[in-house]
Amino acid sequence: MSQPEQTLFDLGPGSELTPAVRAFRLALVLGRRMQYLMDDRLRADGLTTQQAALLTAVRALGTPALTEAAAALGTTHQNAAQLVAALERKGMLRVEPDPADKRRRRLVPTESGARYWSERDSGDEAAVAEWFAALTPDELDRWCTLTGKILTPPGRPGSHSP
């Protein structure tokens, strides 16, 4: 973390923030940095990290409704709709009527989008591994466990008590 970030957000070793507020700010700075780095990798192909996340969610969910995709991303219906519109223009996603309920629309990855995505995976994985290279494998595993606890709402399987 750069000295300006430490100073600006009071994140350095002498921080006077409560541990929870300091953790929140660190997570925010880390999230923004990771998004910036991935946006930079995707920029040449005309994609953003959010668009890539939506494509990932659609692939994982099958053919979700927009509401399901928005929930998976933890974003609003409106933001997800904007991402879908951009991906439709790029030919990476299409919206089709739900065969079981014509009022609902389903998000469907295109062949072009699937092909593009499969060609990216190894290079992106190497870049992400480099971004986390400061952590040992054990530290990275622990970080994933702790982050997972924060991301699992209380009362859900795998959650922790407050």
Q: Tell me: the pLDDT tens digits for 17-37?
A: 888 988 898 899 899 999 999
What is the chain's mean pLDDT, rounded? Answer: 87
Q: Has residue 160 got a pLDDT over 60? A: no
Given this model, what pLDDT does residue 159 score?
A: 45
CA 128 to each of CA 22, 76, 90, 125: distance values in angstroms, whole numbers, following the listed order: 24, 26, 25, 5
Q: Which of 43-57, 79-93, 105-119 has the lowest mean pLDDT?
A: 105-119
Contacts of 97 (CB under 8 A, 6+ apart): 104, 105, 106
What pLDDT, on the 0 to 100 scale, is given for residue 156?
59
Task: List the one residue out of 57, 52, 48 whose CA is nearest residue 107.
Answer: 57
Strand partners, 109: 93
**Positions of E strands within the chain:** 93-98, 101-109
- Residue 161: predicted pLDDT: 42
**Structure-token pair, residue 138:** 């054990």
- Residue 78's pLDDT is 95
pLDDT of 152 reads 86
pTM value is 0.80
Q: CA–CA separation, 81 vs 85, rounded Å?
A: 6
What's the pLDDT score for residue 70?
A: 95
Span 5-28, average pLDDT: 80
Say which residues have a Cβ less than 8 Å from residue 70's Cβ, sequence separation at least 6: 76, 77, 79, 80
pLDDT in tens, 100-151: 888 888 999 999 888 887 777 778 889 999 999 999 999 999 999 999 999 8
3-class secondary structure, 66: helix
